[in-house]
Amino acid sequence: MTLSRRAAALSLLGSLFILSAPAFAQDWPTKPIHFITPYPPGGSSDIITRFVADRVTRLLGQPVIVENKPGAGATLGTEYAARAAPDGYAFFVTPMATVTIAPWLRKVGYSLDSFIPVAKLSSSYGLVTTRKDAPFSNYKEFVASAKANPGKYTFASNGVGTVVHLTGVLLHKQTGIDAVHVPYKGAVESMTDLMGGRIDLMYDPVTAPRVKAGELKGLATTSDQRNPELPDIPTLKEQGFTIDSGSWFGIFAPKGTPQAIVDKMAEYMRQVLASPGVREQLQLSAMYPDYEGPADFARRVQADSARMREVIQKEGLKAD
């Protein structure tokens, strides 16, 4: 074959590929789609995933099947999702910890590059809580007291390297205070000790019902907006702290998934989050709709991953 014929043949093959890719995406989906969650049934992650899957099913006219793959601190399901075929029929719905924190804490069979960010779904109404008789009424007053008394105050988490733990570490570093970390196995135990005065602070939205009941005191909401369930508690930004400490849920696709399909799924997510009843459903899990498309979400994921890596490495943290 002459050089000109070879070039013509390669050009034809390239044209056929370009034409076939959009055609494939245009026909998608032609069979059920799987949403993988790395947590067991019944928890907030599973509830959110199933709610979104149900809404997407209505839009697509194809079933969206939820696959629960719990285990190994959510890394088992994340590895499973990373190995899924990148054909547009497998997506991964997860909170931020699995992709922005876990790879820096332990050896896992995936990395951030194993996935394509599709869309940010929601943000958490994070909450800073103290006992009801604490000598400060907001986070600004706590910071002032902590600076005057280095090492005096303690804060709880549900384990080393968790979002709750790292939120506290980040806030303390950025506000210039020194507080002692006390890890617990779960939020129930730490909340009991907080109410009993054995620890001073929690950075966990699980405390919201106790705050609402007047059994604990809320010092700040860590998200960009106030929680409608606790409208009197100001955000960190309202108290003068320009700190990015929000936690989120997002949907990802395995690396190699056609971009046209990623964009289509992102658009379906936008429609789902704008539909009636979504805000009320997410509120049950202390979250609110907070859509970002592929490009914006990818930038957020990269920034959060770099931020978490920095604090984990500086603190020398290792998973329990």
188-219 pLDDT, tens digit per residue, is 899 999 999 999 999 988 899 999 999 999 99
Mean pLDDT in residue range 85-98: 96
Residue 66's region, left for phi above 0, alpha for psi from -120 to 50, else beta, is: beta
Q: What is the mean pLDDT of residues 282-299?
A: 94
Closest CA to 241 of 128, 162, 148: 128
- Which of the pair, 158 or 252, is modelled with greater confidence? 252
* 127-131/287-292 β-pairing: unpaired
What tokens appear for 226 in the block? 């106030």
Check if 31-124+247-315 and 127-239 are the same fold.
Answer: yes
* pLDDT score for 185: 86
**DSSP codes of every residue in 192-215:** HHHHTTSS-EE--GGGHHHHHTTS
Percent of the chain predicted with pLDDT > 70: 91
pLDDT surpassing 50 at residue 1: no
Q: 154: exposed, middle or buried (C-beta count within 10 Å: 0-12, 13-18, 19+)?
A: middle
**33-76 pLDDT per residue, tens:** 999 999 999 888 898 999 999 999 999 989 999 999 999 889 99
Using CA atoms, how far residue 203 sits from 68, 125, 171, 208, 246, in Å, is 27, 11, 10, 11, 11
Mean pLDDT of the chain, nearest integer = 90
The span from the CA of 216 to the CA of 250, in Å, is: 30
Domain ranges of the chain: 31-124+247-315, 127-239
- Mean pLDDT to the nearest integer, 250-261: 98
- Least confident span in 16-25, 55-64, 189-198, 272-281: 16-25
CATH class for the domain made up of 127-239: alpha beta
Q: Which string of b and e fits 112-144 if b means at least 16 CB within 10 Å?
A: bebbbbbbbbbbbbbbbbbbeebebebbbebbe
Is the pLDDT at 165 greater than 60, yes or no? yes
CATH topology of domain 31-124+247-315: D-Maltodextrin-Binding Protein; domain 2 (3.40.190)
Percent of the chain's residues with pLDDT above 90? 74
Q: What's the pTM?
A: 0.86
Residue with the larger pLDDT of the pair 14 and 291 = 291
Q: What is the CA radius of gyration of the chain?
A: 22
Q: Is the pLDDT of residue 5 over 80?
A: no
